[in-house]
Amino acid sequence: MESDKKNTTGEPGSENKMGVMKINKLIIDMSLPLMISMLVQALYNIVDSYFVAKINEDALTAVSLAFPVQQVMIALGMGTGVGVNAVLSKSLGEKKYDRANQVARTYMVLTFLTFLAVCIFGFVGVRPFFEAQKSETISAAAINYGVDYLTIVCTVSIGIFYQVATERLMQATGKTIYNMYTQLIGAVINIILDPILIFGLFGMPRLEMKGAATATVIAQCIAACFGFFFNIKFNKEININMKGFKMEWKIVKRIYTVGVPSIIMGSIGSVMVLGFNKILSQYQSAIAVFGVYFKVQSFVFMPVFGMNNGLIPIIAYNYGARKPDRIKETMKWGSIYAVIIMVVGTIFFEIFPSQIMGMFAESSKTVAIGALALRIISIHFPVAALSIIRMSTLQALGEGFRSMMVSITRQLFAILPLAFIFSKIGGLDMVWWSFPLAEIVGFSLVTIFLKKTFKERVEPLYE
């Protein structure tokens, strides 16, 4: 098929922009739409929590308790996407267009199977998940709110999984502007529907937490539909027509060789949050504060993750095209931009922590706890920026396992033990210091792994 041979220019054999465009311009071209879309995503996460907080603090706690499962869902979608991007972009760099199409079609099937697994959990696993988190400071109302919310989010998760999948396909071929459109569409719809369905405006029934979840899944499904439209209409470099498709397990293996470590990294994050929530459960309002932190920090981290998603296909493409200088330059400029973003975020958190917490909490005690937490945790943001870029470079070069080991070490063997020890010797105020100290550990390890990977994979490209 001719469509199987086309790339960005529509001409067989012509060079993709990821192999020829000036790196600084390419990073902006690839990443800026993703960064904007991630900012929009962060904005509507914050708006979502803002409206939920207006129900009561139990509702805000419920969203915080549900967050680890949502993290696993995102890890499944994003992690598989990382594997697809690495394999697909490398195939395009090698000008193997038929294989690139097969990778994209395989991705569609894997996405549906992922949705089925999460849907089943939504029906049978949500209530036991929340019941396992009961404690003296977590009320039955918070548990019930969480069950109402998470059941809908899981059973109708087909929208979020295909939204992620269609965005990753456009990202892999450099058409990230359309990702911004799908994110904007989903965000606007969610922001509009949230207050209407939560509080029962304009004659709608008051659904509270069920309303928040319903608004979210409707927005995700509509965004996914637009994602399919943009891929079919504008992404001519790959073809996702499933007619006559047959699963090739060697492609599945290649995808998950890179993707599984990324999935584990995201899932490890959910384990960390569960463990951290358990440590915080002995302190009144601390879980709600931690949940707010994760929402507002996304406004700083999401742009970096958006740029990160733009860097991975650039590095993977140039690795396949044997252009080591472009790999190094991509990493250099990515690091510079990421640190700038994180420094701005740190300054903002240091100056306005009480105002930030005041958006989500009416209790002066909760605001005070949260303000101190934001000031302490945000110290590590600039170092985290460098770690993120280095870990994504490892993934793009096919060293997902090393990236996974950094994440496991930082979140399971550093943050949680430190938080537990600090809770015993210094109380809640000292617990927050586990984040900056753990980041130093993670940065040190990823630097060692990156040097080893460059010696093994990048330096030989000069020969």
Q: How do the domains of the chain map onto residue ranges?
A: 22-456
Question: What are the C-alpha distances in Å from 149 to residues 56, 112, 273, 288?
Answer: 14, 22, 18, 16
Length of the chain as a residue count = 463
Round to whole Å and give the CA distance between 60 and 259: 32
Distances (CA, A) of 66 to 41, 60, 209, 229, 428: 18, 10, 12, 31, 22
Residues with Cβ within 8 Å of residue 153, at least 6 apart in sequence: 66, 69, 70, 73, 122, 213, 216, 217
- List, run by run, the mean pLDDT of 10-residue segments along the chain (463 residues): 41 62 86 80 78 88 89 89 84 80 92 96 95 83 94 96 92 81 90 94 94 95 96 87 84 87 82 91 88 88 87 87 90 95 96 92 88 96 96 88 89 95 94 97 96 92 80
CA neighbours closer than 13 Å in the CB half-sphere of residue 83: 26
- Which pLDDT does position 152 carry in this prediction? 97
Give the pLDDT score at 14.
54
At residue 210, the pLDDT reads 95
Alpha-helical runs (H) found in 245-323: 249-280, 286-320
Residue 37, number of CB atoms within 10 A of its CB:
26
pLDDT of 30 reads 83
> What pLDDT is recorded for position 15?
61
Radius of gyration of the chain from Cα atoms? 22
User: What's the pLDDT score for residue 436?
Assistant: 97
| CA–CA gap between residue 420 and residue 426 (Å, rounded) | 10
Query: Taking the alpha carbons of 354, 146, 73, 403 in that order, is the dihedral positive or negative?
Result: positive
Torsion-angle region of 174 (φ positive above 0: left; ψ -120 to 50: alpha; else: beta): left
Q: Both tokens of residue 93? A: 């760099």
